[in-house]
Structure 1
Amino acid sequence: MRGHLIDTVRLAIEFIRFGGGCRGYNSSISFEQKILKLEEDNQLAEEEIAKIRREFDAAKQSFFKIPDALKGMQKMDPNGIYVNKNLRLENIQVYGFDYDYTLAHYSANLQSLIYELAKEHLVNEFWYPGSCLEFKYDPTFPIRGLYYDKLKGCLLKLDFFGSIEPDGCYFGRRKFTKKEIEQIYGTRHIGRDQARGLVSLMDFFCFSEACLIADIVQHFVDAKLEFDAPYVYQDVNRAIQHVHGSGLAHRGILSDPQRYLVKNSQLLRFLRMLKENGKKLFLLTNSPYYFVDGGMRFMLEGCDHQNWKYMN
C-alpha cells in the first residue's frame, strides 16, 4: 500500500515538473522532501507497532503462566488472623473483648476525676501556682479530634483536608477569628512543616487533657506571665500519664463505681447469649487485674454470672 502511495506522489511530481510552469522545480523539491518524511514516519510507525506487539506477546505469556504461579504460592496459615467481609459469626467459636470502652463504659464524671487528679499533680509536684487548684473541668469545651500546636500554644480542630475549621482554633479559652487564624498561620491550611509541631488529642481520655491545657494557657495569659507552649503540653501530659500509670484513676473509679461506671444491660444480654450458645469468651487488656476485676464485678452485679472469670 505504501508503494502505491509513493508512486502516485512521484507521478504528481513529474506532472508538476513538466507542466507546472516556472515554479515546478521548487515544488518538486518540496514534494521529494515530503516523500522522504513520509517514508521515515512509516518506518517509525512500523517499529512502534512491532514494539507494542512484542509487549503484548510478553504480557500474554505472563497471563498464561498465572495458574502455575498460583499453584506455587504458599498456603494460608490456618492459625493466622485474616480479614473477611463475608464472615458468618455463627461459625466463630471464640470471642475476645477489650476492657475500656468495650466492656467498661464510663460516665462524664471520669473526665472530671482525671482532670482533678492531674491538676493537683501539677501544683504539688511541678510547682504550678496554687491558684490552679481553683480550675474546674468544663465538659462543654473539649471535643474529639483536637490537636495542640506546641509551637504556638493553640488548640486546633482540623477538617479532613488538614485545614483549621473556622470555629476550631483556641488560644487558652479564647476562640480566634478567621482573620486572627490567617495572621498567625498565614492560611487556614496546615502544611507539612507546621504539622510537625502538632500533637493529637484524639481519644476519650484526652478530653480532660485538652481542657487542662487550655486552662493553664488561659491562666498565664490572664496573669500576664510569659510561658513556653511546648512545656505546657509536656507538663500536662506527664501529669495525665501519672494519673493513669500510678493507679490514681483506677483507685478513684473503684472507690465509687456507681459514679464512674455505666452498666450496659444490652451488652450483658449479648455476653449471656454467646455463653448460652457455647461460645468461648476472653478479655484482653493492659489494665491491672484488680481494676478489671472490681469493674467487672460491679457491672455483673445482679446477673446470673456474677463471677466474670467463669464466663469463658
Structure 2
Amino acid sequence: MCHGAEYKSPHYEKLGFDLVKQHMVSIGYPQEILEFEYDPAFPVRGLWFDTLYGNLLKVDAYGNILVAVHGFEFLKHSRIYELYPNKFITLDESRVYVLNTLFNLPETYLLACLIDFFTNSPDYAINDTGVVCGELLMSYQSVFQDIRNAVDYVHLRGELKQRTIENLEKFVKKDERLPTFLARLRESGAKTFLLTNSDYNFTDKIMNYLFDFPHGAKPDEPHRNWKTYFDIVVVNACKPLFFAEGTILRQKDHVYSGGSCDVFSKLIGAKGQ
C-alpha cells in the first residue's frame, strides 16, 4: 500500500518519532528524551546502524565506510580506523541493521538522539559498546533493540494508525491521477494487486481517502470503489514473513488476509522470482 499511499513528510515522520519516544519513556527510558524534537534535515535513507559500537554509517556498495556518526558527532578518520580496520564493514545481519525505508527515518534520528544524550549526560559513562549508569550496563545492541521494539509497537498496536486516520489530510497525500494510472495498467493487460501489512479497516480508510474523487478513472466516468481498481487485495500480509513460510490465507469476499509469496504467486498465476 505504501506505493499507492504517499505520506506527507516531515509531518508523518514527526508523528512516528513522537509516539516512539513516548513509548521509550513508558518502558523506563529517561523522561528527558521527551524533549527531543524531530529534525528532518538529519536522517537519510540507506544508513547502516552498527549495533556493536552504536554508530550510524554511510557505506558504499562494497562495504567501505564513507562517513561514521556517533550520536551527532562525526568521527574522525583515525577513530574510524580504530573501530573498523581498513574502514570496512561486512553486512552481518546479527550486527548491522540497514535503515533503508522512509519509515526508518524517525528511528534513525532517535538512535542519534539517544546516543548523543547518553554520551553528553553526566549521569552516564560511555565505553565502546554501550552505556553505564551505576551498576546498570546498556549495550548499544540493547538500546537499538528497544527502539526497534518500540517502532513495531507503535506501528502494530500503538496510536500511529489511529492518529493517521483521524487526520488524513495532514498525513496522506492524494493524487487524482491514481485511478487513471491503475485503470490504464489493467487496460494494458497487467494484473494489479494491493499487498499490505495493515489490517482491512485501516486499509479501507486510507484507500477510500485516496480514491475520494467525484469521478472514476476518467473525468466523465462515475466514481468507483477503490477495490475495483485491483485484481487482488491482500491485507495482514505480515511481511517479511510473507516472503518465507507465510501465514494462513483467509478470504472474505474479494479480499484476502495473510498468505505467503508462494501461495500468492499461484493465486495470480505468476512465475519466477
Same fold (TM over 0.5): yes
Output the amino acid matched with 1:187. Answer: N
Distance 2:158 2:172 in 1: 16
Which whole-Å CA distance do the structure 1 matches of 2:149 and 2:51 have between them? 15
Aligned to 2:195: 284
Check conservation: 1:147, 1:157, Cα contact below 8 A: yes
Residues 197, 120 of structure 1: alpha-carbon distance in 2 compared, 3 angstrom cutoff: same
Measured after TM superposition, the shift of residue 264 of structure 1 is: 2.3
Q: Is the 8 Å Cα contact of residues 176 and 211 (structure 2) preserved in structure 1?
A: no
Residue pair 2:13, 2:106 contacting (<8 A) in 1 also: yes
Q: Is 1:150 aligned to 2:51, yes or no?
A: yes
Gap change, CA 1:277 and 1:159, over 3 Å in 2: closer
**Do residues 206 (structure 1) and 104 (structure 2) align?**
yes
- Give distance in 2, aligned partners of 1:230 and 1:135: 21
Query: Does 1:267 pair with 2:267?
Result: no
Corresponding residue SS for 2:110: helix
Q: Could you tell me the TM-score, scaled by structure 1's length?
A: 0.62
Q: Is the 8 A contact 1:209 1:240 kept in 2?
A: yes
Once the two structures are TM-superposed, the CA of residue 248 in structure 1 deviates from its matched residue by 2.0
* Residues 248-273 of structure 1 deviation map (CA, whole Å, 9 limit, x = unaligned): 22112111111111112333321243
- Are residues 114 and 306 of structure 1, via their aligned partners in 2, closer, same or farther at CA, if it must alter by over 3 Å? farther
Query: Do structure 1's residue 119 and structure 2's residue 21 form an aligned pair?
Result: yes
Q: List per-residue Cα deviations over 1:150-201 (Å, max 9, x = no partner).
A: 1111111110110111xx2110011112222113223211257x77521221
Query: How far did residue 232 of structure 1 move?
Result: 1.0
- 271 and 179 in structure 1: CA distance in 2 versus 1, 3 angstrom threshold: same
Structure 2 unmatched runs, 5+: 126-130, 132-138, 216-222, 231-273
Tell me the residue number matched to 1:248.
Answer: 159
> Any idea what SS the aligned residue of 1:181 has?
helix
Instruction: Give the alignment's Cα RMSD to 1 decimal.
Output: 2.2
Question: Structure 2 vs 1, CA of residues 278 and 143 (structure 1 numbering), >3 Å: closer, same or farther?
Answer: closer
Residue 183 of structure 1 is matched in structure 2 by 82
Q: Distance between the aligned counterparts of 2:191 and 2:85, measured in 1?
A: 57
Cα distance, 1:131 vs. partner? 0.9
Letter in 2 for 1:188: K
Match of 1:140 in 2: 41
**Structure 1 residues 267 and 196, CA, compared in 2 at 3 Å: closer, same or farther?**
same
Pick the aligned partner of 1:159 from 60, 80, 93: 60
Q: How far off is 1:299 after superposition?
A: 1.1
Q: Percent identity?
A: 33
Residues 190 and 276 of structure 1: CA distance in aligned 2, closer, same or farther (over 3 Å) = closer
Distance 1:121 1:306 in 2: 40
User: What do the CA deviations read for 1:36-80 (whole angstroms, capped 9, x no partner)?
Assistant: xxxxxxxxxxxxxxxxxxxxxxxxxxxxxxxxxxxxxxxxxxxxx
1:280 to 1:201, Cα distance in 2 relative to 1, 3 A: closer
Is the 1:114–1:249 Cα contact (8 Å) retained in structure 2?
Answer: yes
TM-score by length of 2: 0.70
The alpha carbon displacement at 1:215 in A equals 0.3
Report 1:78-97 matches (<5 A): none
Alignment gaps of 5+ in structure 1: 1-98
Determine which of 226, 232, 241 is the counterpart of 1:308: 226
In the alignment, structure 1 residue 197 sits paired with structure 2 residue 99: no
What number of residue pairs does the alignment pair up? Answer: 209
Name the one with the larger helix percent: 1
